[in-house]
Amino acid sequence: GENVEQHPSTLSVQEGDSAVIKCTYSDSASNYFPWYKQELGKRPQLIIDIRSNVGEKKDQRIAVTLNKTAKHFSLHITETQPEDSAVYFCAPSGMRFGAGTRLTVKP
């Protein structure tokens, strides 16, 4: 089965700083790369995704970059705000999830 690893497992940044979370995967057939945000007690919510024919996608303060050769993709959050504090999951191909990265944005 697919091996999915996320790094780091926890990340603490100051408000206004950038945050980067990396996801590596093993299945070279993966062609869909989403990132989910989950707040405590709530369901995972898709925040951005990218497909294998694109190397980068940006949506306001959030971006995802993909390196298919190296089999990893990353979530970039700029100008972080306290409400960005949550657990973020990658899920290559949308089915297998990483263990999550707990992001804390300190005001």
Partner 1 sequence: DTGVSQNPRHKITKRGQNVTFRCDPISEHNRLYWYRQTLGQGPEFLTYFQNEAQLEKSRLLSDRFSAERPKGSFSTLEIQRTEQGDSAMYLCASSGSVPKLLQDPGNTIYFGEGSWLTVV
Mask for 46-75, x = binds partner 1 (CB under 8 A): x--x-x------------------------
Residue 100 within binding range of partner 1, rule CB under 8 A: yes
DSSP per residue over 30-90, as a string? --EEEEEEE-TTS--EEEEEEETT-SEEEETTEEEEEETTTTEEEEEE-S--GGG-EEEEE
Select from 103, 91, 90, 106 the least CA-distant residue to 40: 103
Work out which of 8, 16, 58, 99 binds partner 1, going by CB under 8 A.
Answer: 99
* Number of chain residues interacting with partner 1 (CB under 8 A): 18
**Closer of 74 and 98 to partner 1 (Cβ):** 98
Select from 103, 100, 64, 102 the least CA-distant residue to 81: 103
Residue 94 within binding range of partner 1, rule CB under 8 A: yes
Q: Which residues bind partner 1 (CB under 8 A)?
A: 32, 34, 42-46, 49, 51, 89, 91, 94-100
